[in-house]
Amino acid sequence: MKKSLMTAGLAATLAASVAFMAAPGAWADDKPCAQGTCDSAWKDANSKKTADAMALGEAYKKFLSGARTELQAVAAVKQEAERMGFREWKPGTAIKAGARYYHLNRDRAMTLIIGGAKPVAEGVRIVASHIDSPRLELKGRPVYDTQEFALFQTNYHGGIKTYQWTNVPLALVGRVDRKDGKTVEINIGIKDSDPIFIIPDLSPHVARDQMKKDASSVVEHEDLDPIAASGPHGDLNAGDWVLKFLKDSHNLDASDMVSAELALVPAMAPRDVGFDRRLIAAYGQDDRLAAFASLHAAAEVRDLPETAVILLADNEESGNINNTGASSSYLTDLIGEMLFAEAGDQYRQPMLARALRASKALSIDVNPGVNPMNPGVWELSNAPRLGYGVNIKLYGRGFNANSEFIAWTRAALDEKKVPWQTTTYKVGRAGGGTLGGEIARYNVDTIDFGVPVLSIHTPYAVSDKLDVMALRDGIAAFLQYKR
């Protein structure tokens, strides 16, 4: 009897969910949706909006599944951009209205370019996000033996809670560059038929001393070493066998690991969350969610007032460093090259400074949303909630965009009826960086956007499908607004 009641209850729940998905309603059809004036975007989402969000979620999961590092993300965006009609931009090519190009920066960062009505000299619209995510990386001499196991020596990229990375299936992804000029691609652990790698934690039976430690030291960074092989293989110990395996399978010597970029990333597939399937759990949503939304906004926009420059940068999680990060001169060099192609021999450096001064930039990065288990970490009247749309980040203390640019951005979002909210952390209790400061230092008006995500920097973060769609539409609104 209990079983039949439970089954009936579940059936009723699912039926209600299906009925809701087909119910008439509106996605802010009559008025803008700003924080404090609207409910969750799901409350009035009509059947078309719901279906669109579900379809976009499927495309997003597919993208995340194949884009687990910045190298893979660039390859995936390039392939999709070419399918959408973008072609590679070459120096000397003047940007005409409606033209669509992409430009690669060492295969680890890239830019999408869409020509606008005004010349580049009169300013551009910049949309910037990053495509690196927290992960583990192999050290230059990565294999060692202990207790008849071969383990990988690792470092970490981005801020992580170390204990969350134990007992998680990991894949080894990246490239190795040999000194003969050949590149070897590695991708082991994503397919169901592949082996995985795993960092074994202590069982509770023997972990009494470990469990007395605080969260920051219960697993040390130096101890995040996954199993690569176990036991002797004939006369070879496990470590030597791993090196032999790499030689036999990929023609790699131990010394080749010095010139490798190999990451250990969560191997789990992106999945829907909950009976209603409104949420997505996946690795890498910080910040490939923004990269995905930017790509799909680029596919939709037409008749832009100014040229769009959509930057997908590397190394934000480590401080925007290196020549593929936002602190490099790549972006301004590219805009300068576009100006030179437009002006020819009339080009002078002040033209670039003036173009940047006339530009507007949208810096995008996800941010923590209100967690149902720990809502108290937020001052809730200024907290971002899943399903409520785009966040305008208001950090205070000199980090905000100026008020007139915030007003301009509000108008752009409201014109397209994109749901939005604001985000301010508890004073002195939280924080995080974006690409915004790197762009603003070139005298560009810059505003920070985001959408809320649960469990950021963990192996399996959670986002809302309507927020993904709102971010796509918010980016499009930013690029298309004509005031």
pLDDT in tens, 132-180: 999 999 999 999 999 999 999 999 999 999 999 999 999 999 999 999 9
Residue 42 within a domain: no
The reply to whether 361 falls in a domain is: yes
Q: Are residues 195 and 304 in the same domain?
A: no
Residue type, 142: P
CA-nearest of 471, 404, 472, 394 to 436 is 394
Contact in structure between 153 and 139 (CB atoms under 8 Å): yes
Same-domain pairing of 242 and 225: yes
Give the position of tokens 């080749």.
Answer: 256
Give how far the C-alpha of residue 238 lies from the chain's centroid of Cα atoms, to the nearest Å. 36
Of the chain, the end-to-end C-alpha distance in Å amounts to 65
Quick check: is 4 in a domain? no
How many domains are there within the chain?
2
Query: What's the CA gap between 116 and 98, in Å, rounded?
Result: 6
Question: Is 277 part of a structural domain of the chain?
Answer: no
- Same domain (yes/no): 430, 290: yes
pLDDT digits (tens, 9 = 90+) for 392-447: 999 888 889 999 999 999 999 999 999 999 999 888 777 767 899 999 999 999 99
Residues 179 and 249 both lie in one domain: yes
344 and 454 belong to one structural domain: yes
Q: Is the pLDDT of residue 371 over 90?
A: yes
Same domain, 92 and 181: no
What CATH number has the domain bearing residue 165?
2.30.250.10
Report the C-alpha gap between 80 and 111 in whole angstroms.
Answer: 13
pTM of this structure:
0.91
126 with 143, same domain: the answer is no
Q: Give the range of the structural domain holding residue 476, as residue numbers without chain letter.
A: 47-133+283-480
CATH code of 394's domain: 3.40.630.10
For residues 156 and 248, membership in a common domain is answered with yes
Residues 377 and 446 in one domain: yes
d(CA 313, CA 331): 10
Q: How many other C-beta atoms lie within 10 A of the C-beta of residue 158?
A: 16
Single out the residue in 266, 296, 323 at which a domain terminates: 266
Tell whether 123 and 149 lie within a shared domain.
no
pLDDT average, residue stretch 445-457: 96
Note whether 169 and 101 are same-domain residues. no
403 in a structural domain: yes
Q: Starting from the edge strand earliest in sequence, which strands make up the sheet with 271-273, in order? A: 271-273, 279-282, 461-464
pLDDT digits (tens, 9 = 90+) for 61-106: 999 999 999 999 999 999 999 999 999 999 999 999 999 999 999 9
Note whether residue 61 is domain-resident.
Answer: yes
What pLDDT is recorded for position 1? Answer: 39
Same domain? For 245 and 295 the reply is: no
* Angle, CA 433 vertex, CA 429 and CA 438 arms, to 5°: 145
